[in-house]
């Protein structure tokens, strides 16, 4: 089932999310719905707060990104391996490597894209969809997508990394999104 994506300005996007247990009601269906919602809206990741659930859950699929690489991308990211993964109760352990900028966007903040600088590697502990524990390091595009989605479960958004001047320049766009004055080809839930 396709779920509406929560728009910028909704309070759930600013909540630090809670860990869950395997008996969280409807977890398997929620994960399946998150995959459906992410693909329907052409995303590469989606976090539970974006579908109005303040829990530590997100899914990513960077396989589709790597498969779509053009020649320049292949040259820029020669060792990139995509990943399709569910992350439950994720907790960041460390970020390492050289910081690098990449143009990011967000399904909750449509039509806004900005260059965001993040570390190239992240070490994270998480549980998979079978509640098996993992501690794993990711790098490149996959690390970036994980860090973006991880921010969501911490109540942060990619625009929080922008300098004040840049934030002022996009304020009108953000206000329009909050007010529902944005056209997208997927369902959205706007703040009341």
Q: Rounded to an integer, what distance in angstroms lies between the CA atom of residue 7 and that of residue 150?
A: 17
Q: Please identify every residue annotated as catalytic.
A: 149
- Burial class for 23, CB neighbours closer than 10 Å (0-12, 13-18, 19+): exposed
Q: Rounded to an integer, what distance in angstroms lies between the CA atom of residue 24 and that of residue 138?
A: 27
How crowded is residue 50: how many other Cβ atoms within 10 Å of its Cβ?
29
Q: Which DSSP string do the residues of 24-93 spell out, in sequence order?
A: -TTHHHHHHHHHHHHHHTT-SEEEGGGGT--BSEEEEE-HHHHHT--HHHHHHSTT----EEEEEEEEEE
DSSP structure class, residue 132: -
């Amino acid at each position: 089932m396709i779920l509406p994506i929560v728009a910028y300005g909704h309070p759930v996007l600013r909540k630090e999310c809670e860990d869950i247990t395997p008996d969280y009601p409807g977890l398997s269906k929620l994960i399946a719905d998150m995959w459906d919602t992410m693909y329907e809206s052409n995303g590469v990741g989606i976090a539970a707060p974006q579908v109005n659930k303040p829990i530590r859950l997100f899914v990513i699929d960077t396989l589709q990104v790597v498969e779509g690489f053009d020649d320049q991308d292949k040259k820029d990211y020669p060792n990139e391996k995509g990943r399709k993964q569910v992350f439950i109760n994720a907790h960041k352990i460390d970020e390492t490597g050289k910081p690098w900028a990449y143009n990011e966007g967000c399904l909750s903040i449509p039509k806004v894209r900005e260059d965001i600088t993040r570390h190239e590697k992240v070490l994270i502990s998480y549980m998979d969809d079978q509640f098996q524990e993992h501690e794993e390091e990711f790098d490149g595009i996959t690390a970036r997508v994980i860090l973006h989605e991880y921010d969501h479960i911490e109540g942060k958004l990619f625009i929080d990394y922008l300098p004040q001047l840049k934030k002022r320049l996009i304020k009108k766009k953000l206000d329009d999104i909050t007010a529902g004055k944005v056209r997208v080809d997927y369902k959205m839930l706007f703040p009341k």
